[in-house]
Amino acid sequence: MRAYRLAAANVPDAEKAFFVADLSVVYAQHERWKRCLPQVEPFYAVKCNPDPYVLRLLAALGTGFDCASNGEINEVLKLGIDPSRIIFANPCKAASFVRGAAKAGVDLMTFDNADELHKVARAHPGARLVVRILTDDSKSVCRLGIKFGAPLASVPGLLATARALGLDVVGVSFHVGSGCYDAHAFVDAVARARAAFDMGREAGYVFSVLDVGGGFEDGNFEETAGVLGGALDLYFPEREGVRVIAEPGRFYVARAFSLAVNIIARRAGDGGEMDADQPAVMYYINDGVYGAFNCILFDHQRVQPYVLSLGGSFHVPEAAMERAERCSVWGPTCDSIDCVCAEVRLPGALQVGDWLGFEGMGAYTICAASGFNGFEVSAVVYTCGGGPGAAEVRAVLAGFAARVDCR
């Protein structure tokens, strides 16, 4: 509504797309984690969505943080977080990043190869190292095993190298892949971690950290938590002295962010110019795959729009939706790869200036958006929602602001 008023006053870029972040969803997900996996400490994967208010809320709630670069480490440290609440969970780091972590007091970090051990020995000999093992990630949307993870057969040799270099290896980590849709992938992964723990004992180490990584999905979280909890009880029945952590990302933020986009142009095949196999109407919106919808390319996501306004009205009659047509939705850049939806059912009567909405836009969207073609990254409007958790979120953030200067 504000955009309509600004557009009427000829304000440039009045119809700019924007996110709405409901922080009460993040709070609710944290409560859900504590309820279902109380034995596992969450270390939020900053790369998933480094939104400053998400980081502040999670910091206030007591989570740890999984960082992959000096930039992410610095963002978290600016919140007043103790370095002990950070794991540098990138197995292949630049030497300058390792030195930066040492200077910042971040000691816990992962490795999966011998070259990394020699690098750490030179740049951060006091590091507390976690060997990342290879697991079966074939049941995940984004597979990571092709890039990271030491096969179990190579672990004894890596531990021997670490011992020769005088390095302290304190545990084992794994990652079943981002967006894991088969909870039972964690069973095999925990079994492999158990084997790696036993290899550590044979090498003279006493491991104290088990990092079960990420891959947690909102839709099957309760099932995953049950399966993972059972696997931990089976393979690590006596966990005294073992700290179990995880690296959830999308679980916390995917549902917390929605996106509103404006229809800036349209093409309809009323003059025979459109291919008969193509959708009848092409809608062009002011965010695309170079912006928030990079998740389509990088995160293998399929997005589904819904109508926010039709013909300038926010009242969308059911009859209009019943008459939906085959349409396509395109981003604003001059690149033909900038396709948001190749085919979707939408009213053909949508006009330039109308709005579409997209839910579940909190994971791997803003963080990888670019300014290609001169288009700005969509801004975020924050809310605490109006339901359960709203008051708690306000209180938690107010208390955090009183303790920490985040400027």
Q: Return the residue matching tokens 């300014």.
A: 371
The residues assigned a catalytic role are: 334
Residue of 118, 128, 104 whose CA lies nearest to 208: 128
Tell me whether strands 281-285 and 325-330 are parallel, antiparallel or unpaired. Answer: parallel
37 token code pair: 């996996």
Spatial distance between the Cα atoms of 246 and 180, rounded to a whole number of angstroms: 14
Q: Could you please report the per-residue DSSP string of 44-103?
A: EEGGG---HHHHHHHHHHT-EEEE-SHHHHHHHHTTT--GGGEEE--SS--HHHHHHHHH
8 Å CB contact between 328 and 345? no
Residue of 82, 79, 81, 134 whose CA lies nearest to 112: 134
Write the Ramachandran bin of 392: left for phi over 0, alpha for psi from -120 to 50, otherwise beta. Answer: alpha
303 token code pair: 């997005």
Convert 156-195 into a string of H (helix), E (strand) and C (coil): HHHHHHHHHCCCEEEEEECCCCEEECCCCHHHHHHHHHHH
73 token code pair: 């480490």
383 CB-near residues (< 8 Å, 6+ apart): 20, 21, 22, 23, 24
State the Cα angle at 270 between 290 and 283, rounded to 5°: 20
Query: How far, in Å, are 11, 14, 201, 354, 355 from residue 1 at the CA level?
Result: 14, 11, 64, 11, 10
> What type of residue is 30?
H
E strand or H helix that includes residue 128: strand 128-132
Spatial distance between the Cα atoms of 382 and 27, rounded to a whole number of angstroms: 14
Q: How many CB atoms lie within 10 A of CB 37?
A: 23
